[in-house]
Amino acid sequence: MTAIDKVASYAMDSANFDRFSQVNQKTTENVEAIKKLADEFEGIFLEIVLKSMRETIDKTQMTDGGNGEQIFQSMLDSEYAKNLANQRTTGLAASIEQHLLGMMGETKVSDVMQKAAGMAQYNKAK
């Protein structure tokens, strides 16, 4: 490796470190972006689940079929997934959000985790 290559490599590593340190800082924009990303991931995951569930249903030749129905059901599953993800009931988005915020130094316990701990204590007290 020549001296020029070493300098170029060092400059790239320095630039990447600066970019990573900017992204790794906990700002309101980054927190909102993480929340949006987690919600989108949960929506995609739920859409895959709904599509898989729909494929398990047997179709009859008389009433089912056609491209129009497939397109409509795909769009319907997509909307169902968005609505389910917006409700944040599965805990997947909250878990992803908490993990990514934990990587940024955030130690706050999410509402879902607090609810789960509260339910565990409630059930234990019974």
pLDDT tens-place string over residues 3-16: 555 555 555 555 55
Is the pLDDT assigned to residue 36 strictly greater than 80? yes
User: How many CA atoms does the CB half-sphere of 58 hold within 13 Å?
Assistant: 2
Q: Which of residues 117 and 36 earns the better pLDDT score?
A: 36
To the question of pTM greater than 0.75 for the whole model, the response is no
DSSP string, 66-116: -HHHHHHHHHHHHHHHHHHHHHT-SSHHHHHHHHHHHHTT--PPPHHHHHH
**At a CB cut-off of 8 Å and minimum separation 6, what does 48 contact?**
none
Give CA–CA dist 89/85, Å, rounded.
7
Per-residue pLDDT at 10: 54
Structure tokens at 73: 């059901």
**C-alpha distances out from residue 2 to 6, 8, 21, Å:** 6, 10, 28
In this predicted model, what pLDDT tens digit does every residue of 37-93 receive, in sequence order? 888 899 999 999 999 998 888 777 776 777 778 888 889 888 988 888 888 888 888
Give CA–CA dist 3/37, Å, rounded.
41
Per-residue pLDDT at 48: 92
Per-residue pLDDT at 4: 57
DSSP classification of residue 56: T
Helix (H/G/I), strand (E/B), else coil: 32 = helix
In this predicted model, what pLDDT tens digit does every residue of 19-35 receive, in sequence order? 545 555 567 788 888 88
Per-residue pLDDT at 3: 57
Can you list the pairs that 72-77 forms with residues at least 24 positions away whose Cβ atoms lie under 8 Å? Answer: 77/47, 77/50, 77/51
